[in-house]
């Protein structure tokens, strides 16, 4: 039985509503019993069985932000789409709040495919997914597991398991560094248990330190300004349950990415701090239906919402080719 969610009825996205698509709220459940909230975008004037795309990300963001913009833009191009809030996040269910899990969040994508597969106006043989930033890695993990997914786009992909296990740019890639990190997390668990609470970590640093690295400034400029702020976004207001991120240390989500048989398009900004994720992931992919697209001059968050930079024509061409 699905959990009853409190869904916002008014349009509260950070992007304008399109007059080319129909929009409505929907819910579906994953196999952990968590009910997920989603926005469904349906192209006007089209009938019959449509190709469909599920979208989520970035990590800490909600469907009213980047994923919704992608979903609406792809619906304008003829696809039935959903942008969903991952488990424990936004308007989706799950307790405690603000938990991330490589297993559950991969399942979220697969549950979205379950939902799309049974819609009367969706062709279940033509389903793709889009993962943005941290959810780009989850999307590839889902594609390595779910044979129903025919095409995957990972936009400005970020491998959360690699960063947790090895640090930024693999700067903490040692057994000793991982031990100290695990030790700190376990000590935090004891404090949390005594306090009957869950410590939050991550999110966007505020105030911004003067010596902050460029990528930290990039995130800050996006989530702390009108461009990317939303009151339900964790990146705008706080962080994740620290203990919820422990499993990212020893569950590399791209371990079986070389077994992905369906089509994959990796899109990344040339100046994005995380560009090495997409390049390394692409090097591991096999088959002639895989492609890496580097956007000249683009930084990480440019691919969140910059309509003049996100290569929607290329993404549409990609899905048209493999969801035909």
State residue 54 phi and psi, 5-degree precision. Answer: -105, 135
Find the helix or strand (DSSP H, E) in which 130 lies.
Answer: strand 122-132
Are residues 272 and 298 in contact, defined by beta-carbon separation less than 8 angstroms? yes
The Cα–Cα gap between 47 and 96 comes to 41
The Cα–Cα gap between 151 and 153 comes to 7
- Determine the 3-state secondary structure of 305 from DSSP: helix
Q: Which residues fall within 8 angstroms of residue 310, CB to CB, at 6 or more apart?
A: 70, 73, 155, 267, 302, 303
Contacts made by residues 20-23, CB under 8 angstroms, sequence distance 24+ = 20/44, 20/75, 20/76, 21/72, 21/75, 21/76, 23/72
State the Cα torsion 212-57-105-279 to the nearest 10°.
-70
Give Cα 64 distance to the centre of its chain: 13
The Cα–Cα gap between 116 and 93 comes to 19
3-state helix, strand, coil in the chain (%, to 5): 35, 20, 45
Question: For residue 42, what are the β-bridge partners?
Answer: 22
Q: Specify the pLDDT at position 1.
A: 64
Query: Of 109, 137, 103, whose CA–CA distance to 52 is shortest?
Result: 109
The Cα–Cα gap between 243 and 83 comes to 27
Cis peptide before 207 (omega within 30 of 0): yes
Are residues 48 and 121 in contact, defined by beta-carbon separation less than 8 angstroms? yes
The Cα–Cα gap between 293 and 147 comes to 24
Q: What is the pLDDT of residues 186-236, one digit of tens each?
A: 999 999 999 998 888 777 777 888 888 787 888 888 888 888 899 999 888
- Determine the 3-state secondary structure of 214 from DSSP: helix
Q: Specify the pLDDT at position 223.
A: 84
pLDDT tens for the chain, 324 residues: list them. Answer: 678 899 999 999 999 999 999 999 999 999 999 999 999 999 999 999 999 999 999 998 999 999 999 999 999 999 999 999 999 999 999 998 988 999 999 999 999 999 999 999 999 999 999 999 999 999 999 999 999 999 999 999 999 999 999 998 999 999 999 999 999 999 999 999 999 988 887 777 778 888 887 878 888 888 888 888 999 998 887 777 777 778 999 999 999 999 999 999 999 999 998 999 999 999 999 999 999 999 999 999 999 999 999 999 999 999 999 998
Q: Specify the pLDDT at position 245.
A: 76
Q: Which residues fall within 8 angstroms of residue 211, CB to CB, at 6 or more apart?
A: none
pTM: 0.96
Q: Which residues fall within 8 angstroms of residue 253, CB to CB, at 6 or more apart?
A: 102, 106, 137, 138, 140, 141, 159, 160, 161
Q: What is the pLDDT of residues 77-105, one digit of tens each?
A: 999 999 999 999 999 999 989 889 999 99
The Cα–Cα gap between 40 and 302 comes to 24
Per-residue tokens: 8: 């916002």
């Amino acid at each position: 039985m699905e959990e009853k969610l409190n869904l916002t009825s008014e349009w509260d996205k950070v992007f304008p509503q399109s007059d080319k698509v129909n929009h409505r709220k929907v819910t579906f459940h994953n196999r952990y019993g968590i009910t997920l909230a989603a926005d469904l975008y349906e192209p006007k004037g089209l009938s019959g069985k449509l190709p469909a795309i599920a979208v989520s990300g970035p990590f800490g963001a909600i469907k009213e932000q980047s994923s919704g913009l992608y979903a609406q833009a792809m619906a304008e191009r003829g696809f039935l789409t959903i942008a969903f809030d991952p488990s424990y996040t936004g308007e989706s269910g799950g307790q405690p709040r603000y938990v991330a899990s490589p297993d559950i969040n991969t399942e979220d994508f697969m549950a979205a495919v379950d939902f799309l597969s049974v819609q009367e106006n969706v062709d279940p043989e033509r389903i793709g997914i889009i993962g943005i930033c941290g959810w780009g890695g989850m999307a590839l993990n889902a594609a390595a597991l779910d044979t129903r997914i025919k095409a995957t786009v990972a936009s400005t992909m970020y491998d959360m398991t690699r960063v947790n296990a090895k640090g930024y740019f693999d700067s903490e890639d040692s057994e000793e560094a991982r031990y100290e990190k695990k030790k700190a997390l376990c000590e935090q668990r004891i404090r949390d248990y005594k306090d009957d609470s869950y410590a939050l970590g991550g999110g966007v640093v505020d105030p911004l330190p003067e010596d902050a690295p460029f990528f930290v400034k990039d995130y800050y400029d996006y989530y702390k300004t009108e461009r990317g702020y939303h009151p339900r976004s964790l990146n705008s207001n706080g962080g994740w349950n620290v203990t919820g991120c422990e499993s990212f240390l020893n569950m590399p989500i791209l371990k079986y990415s070389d077994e992905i048989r369906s089509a994959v398009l990796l899109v990344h900004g040339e100046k994005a701090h995380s560009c090495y994720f997409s390049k390394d992931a692409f090097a591991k992919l096999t088959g002639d239906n895989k492609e890496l697209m580097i956007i000249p001059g683009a930084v990480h968050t440019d691919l969140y919402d910059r309509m003049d930079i996100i290569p929607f024509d290329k993404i549409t061409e990609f899905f048209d080719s493999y969801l035909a």
